[in-house]
Amino acid sequence: MKGFVRYKVEDGVEFCWCSGHKEYLPCEGFGANSRNKNGKHNYCKECVKMNDRKQKGEPIPFGTVNQFVENQKNNILKNLGYDLEGDVSIHQQFLKKHKL
């Protein structure tokens, strides 16, 4: 369906489907797109950057596709201020960050 972006809410956390990662990611990591029903792009910001690099002919700085996807996911979470090394889950960090 044109203009449709997969979207879900789990425990008060909003997730959007990233067509690049092929998984749900926090909607905070997506740019705005008024053509889609939820107002978000089909690709997360990191995937948009990678697609720009591909179009410009720049090398992708990752060894395998799995590393590429995992690195993109981790970059999004780090850019949003989540601690990936700590003992607190991403979900708990989100709730604390948004005072839920």
Query: What are the tens digits of pLDDT across the range 62-90?
Result: 555 667 777 788 888 888 888 888 888 87
Query: What are the tens digits of pLDDT across the range 46-65?
Result: 888 888 877 787 766 655 56
What pLDDT score does 30 carry? 93
Mean pLDDT of the chain: 81
Whole-model pTM over 0.75: no
Quote the number of domains for the chain: 1
Residue 76 lies in a domain: yes
Residue 29 lies in a domain: yes
**Structural domain boundaries enclosing 26:** 7-97
What pLDDT score does 31 carry? 92
Taken in order 21, 22, 28, 32, the sign of the CA dihedral is positive
Residue 2 lies in a domain: no
